Amino acid sequence: MAWTKCYLKIVTLSLILSLKAVTTASFSLPAEALNNPANGGPSPNIQNLPWDGQTVQSSSQTGSRLNSHKLGTIWNNFQPPEQGVPGRREGGGTRGSNCPTATTALIPKSTMGRTISAKPTFFYYVPIALNTKVQFELADESDKTIYKKSFQMVTTRPGIVGVSLGEDSNSPALEVGKNYHWYFTIKCNPKNSREDVLVSGWINRTAIAPILKTELERSPDRGLNILTEQGIWYEYLTTLAQLRLSSPSDDSLALKWSELLGSVELGKIAQEPLIPSNVNFANKQ
């Protein structure tokens, strides 16, 4: 583990997740689960997000469209802790056709994103089909591991996949006001950890003013505006992904998706499809 932690700090991490799991004990988030409050995923009207602890006051922005530069300023406004190692959102190196070195975490350039969920969802672009063991790890600011899980990830084609901590009852609830460093490793060669493909990033859980909760519940479109105003990256991405799955022919949602990824310089993967994956846990750690 000591070598792995060191390696994680110099190599790009690679986290792969799923919007639609087939197994019931899945770590990934099925498309239908995003619609189901019982599974901890936000519905299209965002009625099931947690609201507690410290609050963030509403900005003076309205629902008017923001340009890419302004969006980029909002999403990249939050920086990793000074004592923490910056994340790496893109894989790198050349390891062969079976290793997805171009795996990309859908996070801001700063690698720090905010959430209002105790168990948020993460999204990643995987450039090849997978049938591989992967590992997710969550650490505190001092890089002490507080959660680690290994499982088998199976996809049938390249695309964007997502994973929700809420799909594992043993995963910890993120605490309001704290920063966490997440790591995801694709085990290309189980016999040689030096061939791992890695991506990583930071996440901070915050809370939002109760008055904004009512607005989020009232209107999905206004909810997206509020999440933008507050700089809540993870829920904005999750909600927009769900809305796109629910209305795949809605050009306005496709445009918002493209603008969002373009604002954090991930426009090259904006046209990639949201895809499901089958997940089978390899072991519990």
* Region 189-195 average pLDDT: 83
Residues present in the chain in total = 285
| pLDDT greater than 80 at residue 52 | no
Q: What is the C-alpha separation between 145 and 206, in angstroms, rounded?
A: 21
Average pLDDT, the chain: 75
Q: What is the pLDDT of residue 248?
A: 92
CB neighbours of 52 closer than 8 A, spacing ≥ 6?
176, 207
C-alpha pair distances (Å), 190 with each of 132, 157, 164: 9, 22, 25
Q: What is the pLDDT of residue 67?
A: 61
Which of residues 216 and 65 earns the better pLDDT score?
216
Q: Residue holding tokens 């901590």?
A: 165
Of 35-49, 124-138, 147-161, the one with minimum mean pLDDT is 35-49
Which helix (H) or strand (E) covers residue 183, if one does?
A: strand 179-186
pLDDT tens readout for residues 170-187: 899 999 999 999 998 888
| pLDDT greater than 90 at residue 198 | yes
* Beta bridge partners of residue 133, listed in sequence order: 152
Q: Quick one: residue 265, left, alpha or beta (phi over 0 = left, psi -120 to 50 = alpha)?
A: left
What sign results for the dihedral spanned by CA atoms 58, 62, 63, 65? Answer: negative
Q: What is the pLDDT of residue 280?
A: 57
Q: Which residues of 62-91 are buried (b: 16+ CB within 10 A; e: fewer)?
A: eeeebebeebbebbbebebeeebbbbbbeb
**Of all residues in the chain, what percent carry a pLDDT higher than 70?**
70
Q: What is the pLDDT of residue 43?
A: 32
* CA neighbor of 234 nearest in space, from 15, 54, 24: 15
| pLDDT greater than 90 at residue 166 | no
Query: What does the block give as tokens for 284?
Result: 């519990």
Q: What is the pLDDT of residue 222?
A: 78
| pLDDT greater than 60 at residue 236 | yes
Q: What is the pLDDT of residue 234?
A: 96
CB neighbours of 50 closer than 8 A, spacing ≥ 6?
116, 117, 118, 207
* CA neighbor of 276 nearest in space, from 21, 102, 71: 21
Query: What does the block give as tokens for 112?
Result: 């720090």
pTM: 0.75
**Of all residues in the chain, what percent carry a pLDDT higher than 90?**
38
Q: What is the pLDDT of residue 3?
A: 41
Q: What is the C-alpha separation between 153 and 86, in angstroms, rounded?
A: 26
Q: What is the pLDDT of residue 31?
A: 34
Q: What is the pLDDT of residue 164?
A: 85
> Measured between alpha carbons, how far apart are the two ends of the chain, in Å?
13
pLDDT tens readout for residues 86-107: 889 998 655 665 788 899 999 9
pLDDT tens readout for residues 104-142: 999 999 999 999 999 999 999 999 998 889 889 999 998
CB neighbours of 17 closer than 8 A, spacing ≥ 6?
27, 28, 29, 121, 122, 123, 124, 161, 162, 163, 164, 277
